Structure 1
Amino acid sequence: MNKHTDSFYANSIDNIVEYPQLQDNIECDVCVVGAGFSGLSSALHLAEKGFKVVVLESAKVGFGATGRNGGQIVNSYSRDVDVIESRYGEKQAKQLCDMIFEGGDIIRGLVDKYQINCDLKQGGLFTALNPKQFKSLEHHKKNWERYGNDQLSILDASEVESAVGTDAYVGGLLDMRGGHIHPLKLALGEAAAFVSLGGQIFEQSAVTSIEKGANPIARTATGSVKSKYLVLAGNAYLGGLAPNISNKAIPCGTQVVATEQLTEEQLKTILPSDYCVEDCNYLLDYFRLSADKRLLFGGGVVYGARDPQDIESLLRPKMESIFPQLKGIGIDYQWTGNFLLTYSRMPQFGSFADNVYYLQGYSGHGVTCTHLAGKLLAEALTGHAERFDAFAALRHPSFPGGRHFQIPFTAMGAAYYNLRDKLAI
């Protein structure tokens, strides 16, 4: 049986709901493959519109990146306003940029509507390690303000130090439309909301094959689901189920550690603001406090999604360079999770065979964008596909190097940008 990874998130929840395994051949309007944020958002938005929806999950609700990520509500996509406006036509760029804050709003709306207890906190801080990065944050603020975010503030070095508890940064950008959550609690709350609307979830029900046609069929080892529409939302955990979309992206691993609970004395200088933080490096570090006052610190990317031998040894030096006052602190949990990286760094939404849809490739911005994806899919299936089509029309080239060399080539590129960050060029 596939169980949750041994993370702080999974171990901080008592009595995680168990959903049954599919043991029959059933029919519905929409079958969703994957019970991460993409699948849950899709299922919940569709159920709200009256669709009969079934979700098939190979392991547990929130098993993948959904239940393992840093828990940060970070607005926009992995490519932001400047790149989008320069790369795509004026109309499409405006459509895409008009949606950059919607994912976070959807999360807050669902939390409020369904009374989901997921430790929601407001405030996300982007931090600059050098003057070049600080200047880019000032430009970033102007771009986001053009698209309606009026909750942004530039902080100088002393203000960042007061908010974070470190002198490592030269300045920052505070986004009060950002924030952080316990991601697994959010996923489980969304699953419960979906079930309350008549939806069905089946765990330990990996889809082994799909049959296209007027009514596509998703088959598992012990049953099948026949539907009018099929939604593939497995992301980095989709496997070889649909090679025509999985070959357009590569799985990557990111690592997180959770410290022991901090003392009241430590909390005076460790994130007294209770904001979540991420720096501006290409291979960025990110951190925040949990509700029970642990520091959750993440960073690094493993291309190809191999699990590092010792996550603590990778992250402790980074954590202690930011917070020397935590030198030697105990690490209670360490884990890794996979996300799906696209070459364009833009998410991949689309369809084939007219009634088989896919949502994937958030490239590290999955918490918010997955929630937007589910809403757009529900719009598309009710005859309002304009916003979904703004994403579906994006071109998604494959990574250079082909099947055998795309991962080392991508790692070489990342090393180059990491060096630029270190040299501040």
Structure 2
Amino acid sequence: MSTQATSFTASRAAPAGLGQPGSTTHAPSYYAATGLSQPDRPVLQGTTQADVCIIGAGYTGLSSALHLAEQGYKVVVLEAARVGWGASGRNGGQLVHSYSRDIDVIEARYGKAAADALGSMAFEGARIIKERIARYQIDCHFRPGGMFTALSDKQVRQLEHHKALWERYGHTELDMLDARATEQAVGTRRYKAALLDHSTGHVHPLRLAQGEAAAFESLGGVIHELSAVTRIERGECATVHTAHGRVQARFVIVACNAYIGDLEPQLAARSMPCGTQVIATEPLGDRFKEILPTEYCVEDCNFLLDYFRLSADRRLVYGGGVIYGARDPAHIESIIRPKMLKTFPQLKDVRVDYGWTGNFLLTLTRLPEVGRLAPNIYYSQGCSGHGVTFTHLIGRVLSEVIRGQAERFDAFASLPHYPFPGGRLFRVPFTALGAAYYDLRDKLGI
């Protein structure tokens, strides 16, 4: 079938208002087209009281809200757009352990105590997700198994090191695959080896967020959509203001990540929104066996990595590339399709039905930033590309600190938080220059 056939218009520039903050509509993605049915969630009107007010109905906010509701807290979540509207509903759907900088880097930079503390939590996020899916019967198309693939001898050695490191911290559900076994699992000769992680997998990310929202609401939690927060008034009892109402709460969690805007300038100064692009092909039918017969999800080891998986209806969902500064590219398919065909040239006749972009939040250290804005106002941001599992972990950790158990929270909060050199004006060119350097190293295999 010709790729010039009925390609979905989302692969071009989105019409004005679609996928923008405060929009009534999700970004025009495959996920939005196949999400769960959602109830009407009213705009916040007037004044309400809560034990905890959470700003943002992405994974960080929903995970925190669900953990707290399970403990009997009265929680109100305020969302500027829709549940799962940001990166939580647009990402690659892969459950990847640890952090964007792994445990050995944490030890080298911040010492053994920090590495041990964060290492003890590095594999918890994926467990939480699987527990949530099972407990609340969330229909988010979970499939087990994930692979990291190596394109050079150097990356093979990195994967061997990676396996030994994770096994040191108790994660043993790992197998190294040679080139032949990798080709059998992924229908391409592009890779020299792979690390197979049996404990991970992939999901329909928007359905996961929507299912967690429904679980939270089943416990009495309240979500107000189209209720952008305009300011947070500090105090022993904080007041969170929107255009039409306010929430008075003992505690506040700021969980906005890449879409924080100017709500808290000190948080925005320490982070940079980055765009990544994803496409979804037409359903492949039995042809899926040519590329992913195991139905594992895959990501390669490059600095600017490619990642892909099969959807429940066996489309290839393929993502990659980074737009620093979060500019929406006008032609997503033209960016990602060549990457897909470099991996799977046998798909040259396959139509692309969807293409979309979304923002994740990058920090200077590539580690998440967690802390307090005031004694009763907490935040978490900057997962730097490892958000699916980390957000679920930090939701539990934030619920713990609100209950008075601060040890695990302090392990993250004690990490240094740095602004980008040159501030907002120069953070994009400086970061893009660094990325170009590492991308060249990947291409040269050095």
Taking structure 1 as the reference length, the TM-score comes to 0.99
Q: Distance in 2 between matches of 1:246 and 1:100?
A: 26
Q: Is the 8 A contact 2:36 2:210 kept in 1?
A: no
Q: Distance in 2 between matches of 1:81 and 1:214?
A: 37
The answer as to 2:213 corresponding to 1:165 is: no
Q: Matched residue of 2:290: which SS?
A: coil
Q: Matched residue of 2:391: which SS?
A: helix
Q: How do 1:291-370 and structure 2 match up within 5 A?
A: 291-370=312-391
Q: Distance in 2 between matches of 1:402 and 1:68?
A: 28
Taking structure 2 as the reference length, the TM-score comes to 0.94
Give the letter for the 1:327 counterpart: K
How far apart are 1:352 and its partner, in Å? Answer: 2.1
Give the letter for the 1:342 counterpart: T
Q: Distance in 2 between matches of 1:411 and 1:2?
A: 32
The answer as to 2:47 corresponding to 1:47 is: no
The answer as to 2:137 corresponding to 1:115 is: yes
Deviates more, 1:110-119 or 1:32-41: 110-119
Show the counterpart of 1:152.
Answer: 174
Deviation per residue, 1:382-421 (Å, 9 max, x gap): 1111001000000011122222111111000000000000
The answer as to 2:78 corresponding to 1:56 is: yes
Q: Distance in 2 between matches of 1:216 and 1:225?
A: 8
Show the counterpart of 1:268.
Answer: 289
Give the letter for the 1:378 counterpart: S
The correspondence for 1:78, drawn from 96, 100, 108, is 100
Show the counterpart of 2:162.
Answer: 140
Identity of aligned residues (%): 59
Show the counterpart of 1:128.
Answer: 150
- After the TM superposition, list the runs of 4 or more consecutive aligned residues in structure 1 that deviate by more than 6 angstroms: none
Show the counterpart of 2:52.
Answer: 30
Q: Matched residue of 2:309: which SS?
A: strand
Give the letter for the 2:424 counterpart: R
Q: How do 1:7-18 and structure 2 match up within 5 A?
A: 7-13=29-35, 15-18=37-40
Q: How do 1:88-107 and structure 2 match up within 5 A?
A: 88-107=110-129
Q: Is the 8 A contact 2:30 2:280 kept in 1?
A: yes
Give the letter for the 2:66 counterpart: L
Q: How many residues align?
A: 424
Show the counterpart of 2:434.
Answer: 413
Q: Matched residue of 1:190: which SS?
A: helix
Q: Distance in 2 between matches of 1:195 and 1:50?
A: 13
The answer as to 2:409 corresponding to 1:385 is: no
Q: Distance in 2 between matches of 1:335 and 1:184?
A: 14
How far apart are 1:14 and its partner, in Å? Answer: 5.4
Q: Matched residue of 2:266: which SS?
A: helix
Give the letter for the 2:356 counterpart: W
The answer as to 2:264 corresponding to 1:242 is: yes
Give the letter for the 2:411 counterpart: A
**Tell me, which stretches of 5 or more residues in structure 2 are unaligned?**
1-22
Q: Distance in 1 between matches of 2:333 and 2:395?
A: 35
C-alpha root-mean-square deviation of aligned residues, in Å?
0.8
Give the letter for the 2:372 counterpart: S
Q: Matched residue of 1:261: which SS?
A: coil
Q: Distance in 1 between matches of 2:79 and 2:310?
A: 30
How far apart are 1:24 and its partner, in Å? Answer: 1.9
The correspondence for 2:419, drawn from 398, 414, 417, is 398
How far apart are 1:300 and its partner, in Å? Answer: 0.4
How far apart are 1:18 and its partner, in Å? Answer: 2.6
Q: Matched residue of 1:268: which SS?
A: helix
Give the letter for the 1:23 counterpart: Q
Q: Distance in 2 between matches of 1:307 and 1:353?
A: 34
Show the counterpart of 1:190.
Answer: 212
Deviation per residue, 1:293-336 (Å, 9 max, x gap): 00000000001100011110001111001001101311100000
Q: Distance in 2 between matches of 1:92 and 1:324?
A: 44
**Tell me, which stretches of 5 or more residues in structure 1 are unaligned?**
none
The answer as to 2:388 corresponding to 1:372 is: no
Deviation per residue, 1:172-228 (Å, 9 max, x gap): 100111110001111011001101111000000000111111111111111110100
